[in-house]
Structure 1
Amino acid sequence: MSHYRGGADFEREVRHHLEAEGYEVIRSAGSKGKADLVAFKLGEFLVVQCKRNGICPPAERIEVQRLASLIPGAIPLVATRPGITFKRLTGPGPKDWAPWVADRVEENQ
Protein backbone atom coordinates (compact mmCIF):
# COMPACT_ATOMS: atom_id res chain seq x y z
CA MET A 1 0.00 0.00 0.00
CA SER A 2 1.38 3.42 -0.92
CA HIS A 3 1.92 6.13 1.69
CA TYR A 4 -0.76 8.26 -0.03
CA ARG A 5 -3.23 5.38 -0.12
CA GLY A 6 -2.72 4.61 3.56
CA GLY A 7 -3.29 8.24 4.49
CA ALA A 8 -6.40 8.51 2.30
CA ASP A 9 -7.78 5.30 3.81
CA PHE A 10 -7.22 6.69 7.31
CA GLU A 11 -8.95 9.96 6.39
CA ARG A 12 -11.98 7.99 5.19
CA GLU A 13 -11.94 5.90 8.36
CA VAL A 14 -11.92 9.06 10.51
CA ARG A 15 -14.70 10.50 8.36
CA HIS A 16 -16.91 7.43 8.91
CA HIS A 17 -16.14 7.51 12.65
CA LEU A 18 -17.27 11.14 12.93
CA GLU A 19 -20.35 10.52 10.78
CA ALA A 20 -21.30 7.70 13.17
CA GLU A 21 -21.07 10.30 15.97
CA GLY A 22 -23.61 12.50 14.17
CA TYR A 23 -21.29 14.92 12.35
CA GLU A 24 -21.61 16.10 8.77
CA VAL A 25 -18.10 15.72 7.35
CA ILE A 26 -16.34 17.23 4.35
CA ARG A 27 -13.08 15.63 3.23
CA SER A 28 -10.47 17.58 1.32
CA ALA A 29 -9.20 14.74 -0.90
CA GLY A 30 -5.54 14.99 -1.84
CA SER A 31 -5.02 17.95 0.46
CA LYS A 32 -1.49 18.97 1.22
CA GLY A 33 -2.41 21.75 3.55
CA LYS A 34 -4.65 23.23 6.10
CA ALA A 35 -7.07 20.44 7.08
CA ASP A 36 -8.00 16.98 5.89
CA LEU A 37 -11.56 17.12 7.26
CA VAL A 38 -14.03 19.64 8.56
CA ALA A 39 -16.92 18.30 10.57
CA PHE A 40 -19.92 19.93 12.13
CA LYS A 41 -23.13 19.31 13.97
CA LEU A 42 -25.39 21.60 15.95
CA GLY A 43 -23.20 23.75 18.16
CA GLU A 44 -19.89 22.16 17.18
CA PHE A 45 -17.35 22.65 14.39
CA LEU A 46 -14.15 20.59 14.02
CA VAL A 47 -11.04 21.21 11.94
CA VAL A 48 -9.20 17.87 11.65
CA GLN A 49 -5.74 16.93 10.45
CA CYS A 50 -5.34 13.13 10.09
CA LYS A 51 -1.96 11.58 10.99
CA ARG A 52 -1.74 7.80 11.26
CA ASN A 53 1.58 8.03 13.10
CA GLY A 54 0.44 10.87 15.37
CA ILE A 55 3.18 13.23 14.22
CA CYS A 56 1.85 16.60 13.13
CA PRO A 57 4.65 19.01 12.18
CA PRO A 58 4.66 22.43 13.87
CA ALA A 59 3.65 24.35 10.74
CA GLU A 60 0.61 22.08 10.26
CA ARG A 61 -0.40 22.36 13.94
CA ILE A 62 -0.22 26.15 13.73
CA GLU A 63 -2.21 26.22 10.49
CA VAL A 64 -4.97 23.94 11.85
CA GLN A 65 -5.24 26.18 14.92
CA ARG A 66 -5.26 29.33 12.77
CA LEU A 67 -8.01 27.93 10.56
CA ALA A 68 -10.08 26.89 13.58
CA SER A 69 -9.65 30.38 15.07
CA LEU A 70 -11.56 31.84 12.10
CA ILE A 71 -14.74 30.16 13.35
CA PRO A 72 -15.75 31.05 16.93
CA GLY A 73 -15.66 27.93 19.08
CA ALA A 74 -14.17 25.65 16.39
CA ILE A 75 -12.01 22.82 17.73
CA PRO A 76 -8.60 22.12 16.14
CA LEU A 77 -7.88 18.37 16.19
CA VAL A 78 -5.35 15.79 15.09
CA ALA A 79 -6.78 12.32 14.49
CA THR A 80 -4.34 9.46 15.02
CA ARG A 81 -3.92 5.80 15.88
CA PRO A 82 -4.32 3.44 17.77
CA GLY A 83 -7.90 2.94 16.68
CA ILE A 84 -9.08 6.46 16.09
CA THR A 85 -8.07 8.86 18.81
CA PHE A 86 -8.18 12.64 18.80
CA LYS A 87 -5.80 15.24 20.18
CA ARG A 88 -7.20 18.73 20.74
CA LEU A 89 -4.47 21.20 19.86
CA THR A 90 -3.86 23.76 22.61
CA GLY A 91 -0.67 25.42 21.34
CA PRO A 92 2.15 25.17 18.80
CA GLY A 93 4.37 22.65 20.60
CA PRO A 94 4.35 18.86 20.28
CA LYS A 95 3.11 18.52 23.88
CA ASP A 96 0.44 21.22 23.53
CA TRP A 97 -2.62 19.01 23.24
CA ALA A 98 -5.33 17.34 25.30
CA PRO A 99 -7.37 14.20 24.62
CA TRP A 100 -10.71 14.84 22.92
CA VAL A 101 -13.74 12.57 22.53
CA ALA A 102 -16.80 13.26 20.39
CA ASP A 103 -20.13 13.77 22.09
CA ARG A 104 -22.18 10.60 21.81
CA VAL A 105 -25.17 10.58 19.48
CA GLU A 106 -28.45 10.11 21.29
CA GLU A 107 -30.13 6.89 20.13
CA ASN A 108 -33.60 8.45 20.24
CA GLN A 109 -32.83 11.32 17.88
Structure 2
Amino acid sequence: TDAHAAELRDIGQQMQLVVDRGDREAYSQLNRTLHGRVIEIADQPTASETIARLRGQAIRYHFQLATRPDRPQVSLPQHMAIIEAICTRNPDAAGRAMHEHLASVTEAIAASAVA
Protein backbone atom coordinates (compact mmCIF):
# COMPACT_ATOMS: atom_id res chain seq x y z
CA THR A 1 0.00 0.00 0.00
CA ASP A 2 1.00 3.63 -0.23
CA ALA A 3 1.17 3.74 3.57
CA HIS A 4 3.57 0.79 3.62
CA ALA A 5 5.71 2.44 0.95
CA ALA A 6 5.88 5.65 2.96
CA GLU A 7 6.81 3.69 6.08
CA LEU A 8 9.59 1.79 4.30
CA ARG A 9 10.95 4.97 2.73
CA ASP A 10 10.95 6.62 6.15
CA ILE A 11 12.94 3.73 7.60
CA GLY A 12 15.37 4.05 4.69
CA GLN A 13 15.81 7.77 5.33
CA GLN A 14 16.44 7.11 9.01
CA MET A 15 19.00 4.46 8.07
CA GLN A 16 20.80 6.96 5.84
CA LEU A 17 20.92 9.52 8.65
CA VAL A 18 22.40 7.13 11.20
CA VAL A 19 24.97 5.83 8.70
CA ASP A 20 25.96 9.42 7.93
CA ARG A 21 26.61 10.05 11.61
CA GLY A 22 28.34 6.69 12.14
CA ASP A 23 25.81 5.27 14.61
CA ARG A 24 26.15 1.52 14.02
CA GLU A 25 23.91 0.61 16.95
CA ALA A 26 21.02 2.70 15.63
CA TYR A 27 21.63 1.28 12.15
CA SER A 28 21.47 -2.26 13.50
CA GLN A 29 18.15 -1.50 15.20
CA LEU A 30 16.72 0.07 12.05
CA ASN A 31 18.00 -2.90 10.06
CA ARG A 32 15.99 -5.23 12.30
CA THR A 33 12.97 -2.94 12.00
CA LEU A 34 13.22 -2.88 8.20
CA HIS A 35 13.56 -6.64 7.93
CA GLY A 36 10.61 -7.15 10.26
CA ARG A 37 8.38 -4.73 8.40
CA VAL A 38 9.25 -6.21 5.00
CA ILE A 39 8.33 -9.65 6.33
CA GLU A 40 5.07 -8.36 7.82
CA ILE A 41 4.11 -6.37 4.74
CA ALA A 42 4.76 -9.37 2.48
CA ASP A 43 2.10 -11.25 4.45
CA GLN A 44 3.54 -14.66 3.60
CA PRO A 45 3.14 -16.81 6.75
CA THR A 46 5.17 -19.77 5.50
CA ALA A 47 8.07 -17.58 4.43
CA SER A 48 7.83 -15.65 7.68
CA GLU A 49 8.05 -18.84 9.75
CA THR A 50 11.00 -20.10 7.71
CA ILE A 51 12.84 -16.80 8.09
CA ALA A 52 12.21 -16.81 11.84
CA ARG A 53 13.71 -20.30 12.16
CA LEU A 54 16.72 -19.40 10.04
CA ARG A 55 17.25 -16.15 11.90
CA GLY A 56 17.29 -18.01 15.19
CA GLN A 57 20.01 -20.29 13.88
CA ALA A 58 22.05 -17.42 12.45
CA ILE A 59 21.97 -15.00 15.39
CA ARG A 60 25.71 -15.19 16.05
CA TYR A 61 26.44 -14.28 12.43
CA HIS A 62 24.10 -11.32 12.67
CA PHE A 63 26.05 -10.09 15.68
CA GLN A 64 29.36 -10.52 13.85
CA LEU A 65 28.10 -8.52 10.88
CA ALA A 66 26.48 -5.85 13.02
CA THR A 67 29.78 -5.11 14.73
CA ARG A 68 31.78 -4.73 11.51
CA PRO A 69 32.53 -1.04 11.04
CA ASP A 70 32.11 -1.14 7.25
CA ARG A 71 28.91 -3.16 7.11
CA PRO A 72 26.39 -0.28 7.18
CA GLN A 73 28.05 1.38 4.19
CA VAL A 74 27.82 -1.92 2.30
CA SER A 75 24.29 -2.88 3.25
CA LEU A 76 22.62 0.54 3.14
CA PRO A 77 22.58 0.81 -0.67
CA GLN A 78 21.29 -2.76 -0.81
CA HIS A 79 18.50 -1.95 1.63
CA MET A 80 17.64 1.20 -0.31
CA ALA A 81 17.37 -0.83 -3.53
CA ILE A 82 15.06 -3.31 -1.81
CA ILE A 83 12.92 -0.48 -0.43
CA GLU A 84 12.70 1.23 -3.81
CA ALA A 85 11.72 -1.99 -5.58
CA ILE A 86 9.01 -2.75 -3.03
CA CYS A 87 7.70 0.81 -3.06
CA THR A 88 7.48 0.88 -6.85
CA ARG A 89 5.79 -2.53 -6.74
CA ASN A 90 8.45 -4.14 -8.90
CA PRO A 91 8.74 -7.77 -7.76
CA ASP A 92 11.51 -8.63 -10.22
CA ALA A 93 13.67 -5.76 -9.01
CA ALA A 94 12.85 -6.63 -5.40
CA GLY A 95 13.92 -10.21 -5.98
CA ARG A 96 17.18 -9.13 -7.60
CA ALA A 97 17.89 -6.62 -4.85
CA MET A 98 17.17 -9.18 -2.15
CA HIS A 99 19.35 -11.74 -3.91
CA GLU A 100 22.24 -9.25 -4.08
CA HIS A 101 21.78 -8.41 -0.40
CA LEU A 102 21.74 -12.06 0.67
CA ALA A 103 24.80 -12.79 -1.48
CA SER A 104 26.60 -9.91 0.20
CA VAL A 105 25.63 -11.18 3.65
CA THR A 106 26.83 -14.67 2.72
CA GLU A 107 30.16 -13.29 1.50
CA ALA A 108 30.60 -11.21 4.65
CA ILE A 109 29.87 -14.20 6.88
CA ALA A 110 32.33 -16.34 4.93
CA ALA A 111 34.98 -13.63 5.16
CA SER A 112 34.51 -13.27 8.91
CA ALA A 113 34.82 -17.04 9.35
CA VAL A 114 38.19 -16.97 7.59
CA ALA A 115 39.46 -13.90 9.46
Which TM-score band (shorter chain)? 0.3 to 0.5
The TM-score with structure 1 as length reference comes to 0.33
Higher helix share: 2
TM-score by length of 2: 0.32
Structure with the larger strand share:
1
**Larger of the two Rg values belongs to structure:** 2
